[in-house]
Structure 1
Amino acid sequence: MRRTVADWVDYIQTLHAREIELTLERVQQVYQRLLDDELGFKVISVAGTNGKGSSAAMLAAIYQAAGYRVGKYTSPHLKDFNERIEIQGQAISDVELLSSFVAVEKARDKTPITYFEFATLTAIEAFERANIDIAIMEVGLGGRLDAVNILDADVAIVTNISIDHTAWLGNTVEEIAVEKAGIARPGKPCVIGMIDPPTTLLTSCAEIGAACHRHGLAYQIIEQPSQSWNLITPERGLHDLPLPFGQSGMQLQNAAAVVYACLLLNPVLPVSEAQLRDGLTQARIYGRCQLVQEKPAIVVDVAHNVASVARLHDFLMQHSISGRVIAVCGMLKDKQIELSLEHIHKLVDVWHLGSINNPRGASSQQLAATLAQLGADTASLHAYESPLVAFEAAKATLTVDDLLVVFGSFFVAGDILRVLESSDHSDR
């Protein structure tokens, strides 16, 4: 009998020969055995290449501020599996998680399901048992055939779409957009947060019969000089809303889609303007342009593809940096490494590169070779056996005016945040 969360996490990784199996047939069968009654909560599903975690965090904070019981499911986790499943803003406890693992395993019987499918079913079971009012479900990969899509979303949100996971979703933004559109439902609203969405996203939503609400048509953003913004729709205006996580740019686009989605769901889950503001103010997201230390500054970001690295570059450019920019980076080899690093390499003075030691991981030597091809000074490139070793080496060189940025993968961000948290505790 598996006694701990770690035992279960190890076990559920063995249940299917493939890490990713894009089909809903098997997980749907287990879901029907797990919960044969209609769900007792509303669902908002969030798909996109980047911005899903941030959008989910804002949605959860808004509905909690409005007094609802909220479940949030995200992936991957940064430090602990429990982070994937939050109830009322808190990671699920080991006791609750173990109960849900057991329930899913019983319903699974002998059906082979993947790690992500098992995790998704675990979240749904935990939410149903916790008697929540609304579940915020982040779609893990694509949309149409992602395990989250066994649930019918009352409102779907598509954040931004760029090239990623090409082995499963397609080689172009247009192909990927068709997969993302799969979370939409006939007669239900789908909020499209992109300013210029691919035509295939719009046509796919229309074929499904979803009610599309586009940024720039259904609602508009007006930024204010007072570090606030307005959301304007044909019916109403919301004024002086706080910037999400203190950021504009892509995060502001995410926030606008989130707020508009809440307005659409208002007839069944009312949220006041004051509660919207409170939720935006209270929302927190970890590992996204996260300033974890000042003087010297340390920023940790899970940026791992072209769009997210470009966003990280823009975030860093907003800060006044009088010293050096030092980067710790590790990436997966199935990502667009060269195109991603091209967005940020000119900003970085010194690179400390770490190999991610799993079958998907790129070596530090591969990253160094790519940066050299992009024109980086080879004297500025330092390769190590792991991101943790790279981080310790980089940290030892910091002066008070430097900025250290850690990025490239959830694996890297999670490991470094765990080290920094441990260091904080040991200093107390």
Structure 2
Amino acid sequence: MRFTTLSAWLNWQETLAPKAIDLGLERVRAVAERLGLTHPNCPVITVAGTNGKGSVVAMLSSMLCVAGYRVGAYTSPHLQRYNERVCVDEAPVDDTRLCAAFAAIDAARGDLRLTYFEFGTLAALWCFAQSNVDVMVLEVGLGGRLDAVNILDADVAVVTTIDLDHADWLGDTREQVAREKVGIQRVGRPLVCGDRNPPDTLLRAAAEVGSHLLRIGLDFDVEWHDGRLLWRHDGCEESLPAPGLRGVFQADNAACACMALACLEARLPMDARARSDGLARTRLAARFESLPNAACPVVCDVAHNPQAARALADQLSATPVNGRNLAVFSALSDKDVRGIVAAMDAQIDHWFVGGLEAPRGLATNDLIGRMGQLRGRIDGCEKIADAYAMASCAAEPDDRIVIFGSFLTVAVVRQGRV
């Protein structure tokens, strides 16, 4: 084995590829075939989309686990520990298992160069094979068509919402983005679409490929009713509890997850109790998550694009506080900073911003320069941790602190507070 610690493996992987993102399936598929990972003996659910992917994966995993299935779930990025990306029965795999996976991949790859993300994807598939899971739930990291998880044929593909993010890789229109994300579909197999206004490129691609398209608002739907969800599909109605994840928008995510499982009913039977209990117990960090703070209520959310910021703003509006909303904010350099803060402008009374110590992190002055004119006051700090400390000092008991802008923003503040 090349290394004996997880940190050593990860540090080495970051040095291997000249580009952190190198889209394409040839290299990763070749290594997967050498490892015997390309034809799993269980159903595969692949989830793509701009926002909501992590929530759908969490709901799927929870419902499947309650139903008694052994579940392998792969997500990215992580908040605190790399192990969060690879879970079996909702528990992160340990360092020893990941190191063994990386060693097997390293031995099989020969002279093929893999990116950090490709190593991670193969490690997840290797761990799931070793654990003999009953079902795999795979979150697309970037796009869909050329993402490493697409080396496996999805038995059910889910595309959540579609909006602009990663424009350098996916395009600067919803039509271009949709074309990439819908690439996870397969001929004759279900494609669950959670976007209520899908671009024409998605609809055309589904027709051309011949997947079985199921659209929210058309083939299935959901609505809030007396604090519960009313899920409609195939001429039936089912009352479900509110998901364990907060936010009115989680209703659509829940409907997509339930619809995906309905498509697999013949292979993964599930009763109404498992759906209900699984939805109610779903947990996922940093999705309108409350954090402990003596000064005032604190919520954190990984919203890092304009669409997600609009959803966060709607949730803040739906759950008002008597005092002010104080934002703790930072973002990466490739994000639409102006679009993100504009979506939140009406809800935020005071901004506390700081730089992120990361390869794509923005320095504080650069970040403020991109934010433009806002309704609320802006105070800058060198680091995001300092911005959170300043916001906590400025907060009154009736205020609320809102931490958002990036997984890294939330991770810095969340560290040691949960």
TM-score range, shorter chain: over 0.9
Over residues 330-389 of structure 1, what are the superposed CA-to-partner deviations in whole Å (9 max), with x where a residue is unaligned?
101211111111011232122111112334222222332344x32345xx2211121112
Q: Does 1:342 align with 2:339?
A: no
Q: Does 1:258 align with 2:267?
A: no
Q: Does 1:189 align with 2:190?
A: yes
Partner of 1:123: 124
**Distance in 1 between residues matched to 2:128 and 2:39, nearest whole Å:** 13
Q: Does 1:413 align with 2:413?
A: no
Amino acid at match of 1:186: V
- What's the CA shift for 1:238? 1.2
Q: Report how many residues are paired.
A: 416
Aligned residue runs from structure 1 range 20-419, under 5 A: 20-35=21-36, 38-224=39-225, 226-239=226-239, 241-245=240-244, 247-293=246-292, 296-371=296-371, 373-376=372-375, 380-419=377-416
**Distance in 2 between residues matched to 1:324 and 1:126, nearest whole Å:** 46
Amino acid at match of 1:305: N
**Distance in 2 between residues matched to 1:419 and 1:350, nearest whole Å:** 25
**Aligned partner of residue 44 in structure 1, secondary structure:** strand
Amino acid at match of 1:390: A
**Distance in 2 between residues matched to 1:139 and 1:37, nearest whole Å:** 16
**Distance in 2 between residues matched to 1:63 and 1:375, nearest whole Å:** 44
- What's the CA shift for 1:289? 0.9
**Distance in 1 between residues matched to 2:109 and 2:265, nearest whole Å:** 36
Scaled by the length of structure 1, the TM-score of the pair is 0.94
Q: 1:135 to 1:117 in 2, by over 3 A?
A: same
- What's the CA shift for 1:234? 3.1
Q: 1:409 to 1:217 in 2, by over 3 A?
A: same
Amino acid at match of 2:151: I
**Aligned partner of residue 383 in structure 1, secondary structure:** strand
**Distance in 1 between residues matched to 2:366 and 2:205, nearest whole Å:** 38
Amino acid at match of 1:290: E
**Distance in 1 between residues matched to 2:138 and 2:301, nearest whole Å:** 21
Partner of 2:11: 10
**Distance in 2 between residues matched to 1:218 and 1:95, nearest whole Å:** 45
- What's the CA shift for 1:246? 5.3
Amino acid at match of 2:70: R
**Distance in 2 between residues matched to 1:376 and 1:247, nearest whole Å:** 27
Partner of 1:426: none
- What's the CA shift for 1:60? 0.2
Q: Runs of 5+ in structure 2 lacking a partner?
A: none
- What's the CA shift for 1:222? 3.1
Partner of 1:424: none
Q: 1:237 to 1:156 in 2, by over 3 A?
A: same
- What's the CA shift for 1:36? 5.8
**Distance in 2 between residues matched to 1:37 and 1:219, nearest whole Å:** 31
**Distance in 2 between residues matched to 1:105 and 1:370, nearest whole Å:** 42
**Distance in 1 between residues matched to 2:365 and 2:346, nearest whole Å:** 19
- What's the CA shift for 1:98? 1.3
**Aligned partner of residue 144 in structure 1, secondary structure:** coil
Does the CA-based 8 Å contact 2:298-2:402 persist in structure 1? yes
**Distance in 2 between residues matched to 1:211 and 1:337, nearest whole Å:** 37
Q: 1:223 to 1:270 in 2, by over 3 A?
A: same
Scaled by the length of structure 2, the TM-score of the pair is 0.96
- What's the CA shift for 1:37? 7.1
Q: 1:376 to 1:96 in 2, by over 3 A?
A: same
**Aligned partner of residue 390 in structure 1, secondary structure:** helix
Partner of 1:425: none
Amino acid at match of 2:348: V
Q: 1:345 to 1:370 in 2, by over 3 A?
A: farther
- What's the CA shift for 1:396? 2.3
**Aligned partner of residue 388 in structure 2, secondary structure:** helix
Ranges of 4+ aligned residues in structure 1 off by more than 4 Å:
none
Aligned residues: CA RMSD:
1.4
